[in-house]
Amino acid sequence: MTIDKTVSADDANKGQRPNMPPIASPDEWTTAWAKLLVKEKASTRARDALAAERRRMPWMAVEKDYEFEGPQGKVSLLDLFEGRRQLIVYRAFFERMGWKMPWYSFEGTFDTDFGVDEWHGHNVFFRDGNQIFRTYFTNNRGDEAMGTTWSYLDITPLGRQEVWEDSPKGYPQTQTYKWWNWNDNYEADAAPDAKWVEVSDSGEAAFRKQSKGSNE
């Protein structure tokens, strides 16, 4: 005999309905949202200030050699930069789940030396020639904010490299949004596509016009 154990979503959630907040009219809801928006904007400004302070942290020289095993065999920490200046290394504690990005396994004491021997975490490095520096580290709940382009850029030593950022004197900066590009047009030293510049100009103008009523 076959027993159908499937249930509807409503049946599955019986007895689990949360206590609901007050139900408001459109005007009341807008007032409550505007009140919360003041705090959200303050949080955004505080996050920007924290990123500025992060860019001024001292750097730690990496003196040891570390070895990793990747798709092309054994590589060094320096190799992971692939010629770039900045590198974020995330220690993952889960299966690869079919993702196509290159994965690397570390050997030796990298995990204990960089605080990821017991749990996941992000380490940020900067390369000056062949010298590597550790510039930042976050783990545990600090990892929860990671995942977007912006959150990763904000933990790098150079930041988003946009003119509005509070960065140390001499750091590279470009016009806001102008370094963005079409996903197939990120060639080394390539100028942004003219069509993208037109799109970003229009988008920025609309954004500035609406910024008073958004979480900017």
pLDDT (tens digit per residue) in 180-203: 766 555 566 666 677 777 777 776
pLDDT (tens digit per residue) in 45-82: 999 999 999 999 999 999 999 999 999 899 999 999 99
Output the pTM of the full model.
0.75
pLDDT at 138: 94
Bridge-partner residues for 68, per DSSP? 75, 106
For the chain, what are the domain ranges? Answer: 40-159, 175-209
Instruction: Phi first, then psi: give them for residue 18, nearest 5 degrees.
Output: -75, 160
pLDDT (tens digit per residue) in 94-137: 666 677 778 899 989 999 999 999 888 999 999 999 999 999 99
Strands 60-62 and 131-139: antiparallel
- Distance between alpha carbon 204 and the CA centroid of its chain, in Å? 21
Cα dihedral sign, 138-139-141-147? positive
